Amino acid sequence: MTNGLRGADIVARSLARLGANRVFTLSGNHIMSIFDAAIEAKLDLVHVRHEAAAVHMADAWGRLTGQPGIALVTGGPGHANAVGALYTALGAESPMVLLSGHAATWELGRGGFQEIRQADMAAPVSKASFTATSAATLGRDVGEAMRIATSGRPGPVHLSLPSDLLEERVEANAIVWPDARVSAALALTTAVADATLAAIASAARPIILAGPQLSNVSGRALLGRLEAATKTPAVILESPRGIADATLGAFSDLVRRADLIVLIGKALDFTTRWLSGAGFDPAVRLIAIDPEAALIDRAVKEMDGRLMLGSIADVRAATEALIARAALMKPRGGEWLSDARAALDNRPAAWASIASRTPGRLHPAQVFRALRPYVELDPDAVMICDGGEFAQWGQSMLPVRRRMINGVAGSIGGSLSFACAARLAEPNAPVFVVLGDGTIGFHLAEFETAVRRKLPFVAVLGNDALWNAESQIQLRDYGAERMHGCALTPARYDLAVAALGGHGELVETAGELPGAIERSMASGKPACINVMTESIAAPVIRTG
């Protein structure tokens, strides 16, 4: 066959048809035909330095825009490098698609070049994982992957693309192009909405907990409307620290008093401590609304008779239904909500003045007191927090509308990749990264990607020459005399970034920090402010 389109052209043009014109990728043998096809399809290939970085960028794109981010990697080791990063996207409930090149179908089982069971490898860290079997239906496969990624609970989807299918030509009348229609959202019935609102109205101290999919700007606004409509505190649990996340102030004290918890798209899991133990009223009741039946079943099992109601429904549609029905009912009094907001906004007074006692080192609070005015200059600023103890201080002291963290997965290292995608999604507002010196080691080379693509952002690096989160665990559980294996060097990451073409600053005193921030923002380059910090544990906020 000499006419028609190659499978690679079908893939590239399908992405363009579906509006996925930006692809985060790293080149390799199995996908060179797609690189070629991208020229006619007018795809923007953002070429990165490690396959996991491509996934992190697609993850960030999905979180910020709500549209599925696309990562494209080669097969075998390229795919293997990418798979680990899917776990972060899965925990963050981020809509994205990983397209991986693959050994040719005729090579399978014969020891083909870089042949591995790619779909099996990606399955545990994705919503769906499959391998294309026909060149004619490649477009439909791409569309289906994108549909799955955005439906129900959003998340990553993997599709492997055998190289012979990408090279095969298909006549125009045989091509199955993707269906652009989206899945209908599963509605919350009026009866369930009214029963939920009645339970909230009758509770003395109800709390609404939402999942990570509502952590973007539109999701936070939606949850804010629900809070106002029900006079009930509504909180997003998106951190592996769960109810102990310092971003939420004294939330762990607040939740101890709750007599009703309403989960909207939030799994009953370790972040909620399964609503059991000393941190909860033993009689606390639960309502669970979730797009996945399995998570409703889990709530039934875990709550042992204390589940008042469980319903399968789309998260955003269900929230809108609750808001609409609440408008027809008598509102609750506002005393509990006022008390709850005071606890959630609680920050110790000492944070306003606490300072390092170590010469040449800053306390994390000093860093974020200095950074906050610059973050607040623009309401559309993007804040990315990645890592352990240092980043936790940033999360708790820098409240912003547009924020990404390493997420429920508890994995670190994606922040520099997140920043590149954030700058592409947001070309004007400032993009800030807060990360530790352990975290920066994962994808330091993505500064070169940012320089090459002219993607300026400001990374504030807390450098205590230590894997601090792990050393804090050792200190707490085993004692100071058994702390080992966590030491790093006080490396000059600012110089490394400058060598890659970015802007670098070294900060050793609080007085140096404002100037370093201003110069970094004015440089128009990806910048690293290497701040020498004390090894301080993450903040824990208590009211009593």
- Digit-coded pLDDT (tens) for 478-527: 998 898 998 899 999 999 999 999 999 999 999 999 999 999 999 999 99
Q: How far is CA 126 from CA 155, 290, 295, in A?
A: 7, 18, 16
- Model pLDDT for residues 409-461, shown as the tens digit of each residue: 989 999 999 999 999 999 999 999 999 999 999 999 999 999 999 999 999 99
- Model pLDDT for residues 189-232, shown as the tens digit of each residue: 999 999 999 999 999 999 999 999 999 999 999 999 999 999 99
> Rounded to 5 degrees, what angle do the CA atoms 414, 428, 47 make?
45
Structure-token pair, residue 377: 């200059």
pLDDT exceeds 60 at position 1: no
Cβ-based neighbours of 471, under 8 Å, separated by 6 or more: 483, 486, 535
**Residue 513, CB-side half-sphere exposure with 13 Å CA sphere:** 27
* Region of poorest pLDDT, from 363-372, 396-405, 521-530: 396-405
pLDDT exceeds 80 at position 544: no
CATH topology of domain 349-532: Rossmann fold (3.40.50)
Superfamily the domain 5-174 falls into: Thiamin diphosphate (ThDP)-binding fold, Pyr/PP domains (3.40.50.970)
- Model pLDDT for residues 97-129, shown as the tens digit of each residue: 999 999 999 888 888 888 899 999 999 999 999
User: CA-to-CA distance for 424 and 269, rounded, in angstroms?
Assistant: 34
Percent of residues, the chain, with pLDDT higher than 90: 86
- Model pLDDT for residues 59-92, shown as the tens digit of each residue: 999 999 999 999 999 999 999 999 999 999 999 9
pLDDT exceeds 70 at position 167: yes
Contact of 262 with 358, CB cutoff 8 Å: no
pLDDT exceeds 50 at position 171: yes
Cβ-based neighbours of 65, under 8 Å, separated by 6 or more: 425
Q: How far is CA 449 from CA 36, 41, 48, 416, 419, in A?
A: 21, 23, 6, 10, 11
- CA dihedral (515, 376, 60, 415) in degrees, to 10, reads 30
Architecture of domain 190-344: 3-Layer(aba) Sandwich (3.40)
Question: What contacts 24+ positions apart, CB below 8 Å, involve 441-445?
Answer: 441/413, 442/52, 442/412, 442/413, 442/414, 443/49, 443/50, 443/52, 443/53, 443/56, 443/413, 443/414, 443/416, 443/417, 444/416, 444/493, 444/496, 444/497, 445/49, 445/50, 445/500
**Helix (H/G/I), strand (E/B), else coil: 384:** strand
pLDDT exceeds 90 at position 3: no
387 — pLDDT class (breaks 50, 70, 90):
confident
Beta-sheet pairing, 234-236 with 169-170: unpaired
What angle do the packed helices 32-41 and 7-17 form, to 10 degrees? Answer: 50
Residue with tokens 């363009």: 16
Query: Which residues share a beta bridge with 503?
Result: 527
Closest CA to 39 of 26, 51, 52, 23: 23
2 — pLDDT class (breaks 50, 70, 90):
low
Beta-sheet pairing, 5-6 with 169-170: antiparallel
User: CA-to-CA distance for 415 and 418, rounded, in angstroms?
Assistant: 5
pTM of the full structure = 0.95
pLDDT exceeds 70 at position 335: yes
Helices (H), 289-402: 293-303, 315-326, 335-344, 364-375, 389-397
**Helix (H/G/I), strand (E/B), else coil: 208:** strand
pLDDT exceeds 80 at position 182: no
**In the predicted model, what is the mean pLDDT of residues 334-349?**
93
22 — pLDDT class (breaks 50, 70, 90):
very high
3-state secondary structure 34-94: HHHHHHHHCCEEEECCCHHHHHHHHHHHHHHHCCCEEEEECCCHHHHHHHHHHHHHHHHCC
Residue ranges of domains in the chain: 5-174, 190-344, 349-532
- Say what the pLDDT of residue 149 is: 97
